[in-house]
Amino acid sequence: MTHGSERTARGRSLLATIPAVSLAAVVVLVWSLAAPSLGATLLPSPSAVVRALGELAATGDLWPATLATSWVALRGVILAVLVALPLSWLIVHSRRAAAAIEPWIVISQAVPAIALAPLLVLWFGYGTGTTALLAALLVFFPMVIATGIGLRGIDPEVMAAARVDGAGTGQLLAYIEAPLALPQILAGLRAGVALAMTGAVVGEFVIGGAGLGQLLVAQRDRADTAGLFATLFVLASISALAYGIVRILEARASQMTQR
């Protein structure tokens, strides 16, 4: 890629951010205008939220809670990936497995994850491991669906030609299926990382812990609306960061498969 094309790509990337930045500016402006009439309890001003965020950071409560929730969410993502990828491969390659497993995967989505939390506590007890399992349940479904779409989208003729050349199951998976399905797998992961944070926080509401979910509960109990907004901003920022990282990896994987 030449320097000129690199500058053009960067310029397009910057232009693409203008709508989002403009919308954010409008939201903050409307928020600032509406806050005084509603009062600090219902809607704190943006400046009050910024002050609350600074106070949380200064007290030392924010960073340990942020790390705790992020770690639980990451464990949930890892667990979901470890189960979803081989299970999806099995479903794609075995009609009997698909007939037996797919209906139950779909049915499992009819049960809200928060409703499963008491049952998970009964089975596995209180602790961050149970919270991570709850987060994994939210990540699992999009990972299975996206991986299945990626594997089924591979050209059968490519697979057949590789088999003719003597490629075995492991070689097909390593050199054809995994690389070609990677963009779709990452698309599922992109949806999953945000859901993992949701699962981690919901789990902390129900199961307990020392993360942002418990911080939100404490702020709610003392009617600290500005603190609630500040903590929610941190949660949204972490989810957006994780989403953006996976989106970049997904774009690079798509470029590699198109070469």
Q: How far is CA 252 from CA 87, 94, 186, 193, in A?
A: 25, 30, 10, 18
Angle (CA) 233-236-239 rounded to 5° is: 150
Helix-then-strand count for the chain, H and E: 11, 0
Please list, in sequence order, all residues whose beta carbon lies within 8 angstroms of the beta carbon of residue 253, skipping any fewer than 6 positions away: 182, 183, 186
Q: Once rounded to an integer, what is the mean pLDDT over residues 55-70?
A: 89
Q: Which of 89, 65, 210, 85 has the alpha carbon at shortest distance from 136?
A: 85
pLDDT per residue over 184-194, tens digit each? 999 999 989 98
Beta strands in the chain (DSSP E): none
**23: pLDDT confidence band, cut at 50, 70 and 90?**
confident
The owner of tokens 């299945």 is 148
In the prediction, which pLDDT does 5 show? 53
As a whole number of angstroms, the distance between CA 237 and CA 228 comes to 14
Please list, in sequence order, all residues whose beta carbon lies within 8 angstroms of the beta carbon of residue 140, skipping any fewer than 6 positions away: 80, 83, 84
Tokens of 205: 């509401």
pLDDT per residue over 215-245, tens digit each? 999 889 888 899 999 999 999 999 989 988 9
**How many Cβ atoms from other residues are within 10 Å of residue 128's Cβ?**
20
255 has a pLDDT exceeding 80:
no
